[in-house]
Amino acid sequence: MSFDPIAAQLAVKAARATAGSARPDAPVQPDRHRTRRGDALRTRVARGLHSVARRVEPAPRRTPQVG
């Protein structure tokens, strides 16, 4: 195998670009926080279903207190 200076130079540039992106002073892009379109509707429907379930479910039996 013969030494290929162009390939070595490309490999060094690629390694520097990869290592340079992990520098501690590199600019940080904040994570995008997007709400989904149906989140508010889903919350309202869940709240309604929970209230209906509380009314429909039978109350737990209480054991009589002795004493």
DSSP-assigned letters across all residues of 3-16: --HHHHHHHHHHHH
How does DSSP classify residue 25? T
The per-residue pLDDT for range 29-38, each reduced to its tens digit, is: 787 776 677 8
Distance CA 21, CA 36 (A): 31
pLDDT-derived band at 48, boundaries 50, 70, 90: very high
- The tokens for 47 are 């709240």
Which amino acid, residue 12? Answer: V
Q: What is the pTM of this model?
A: 0.36
The mean per-residue pLDDT over the stretch 14-37 comes to 74
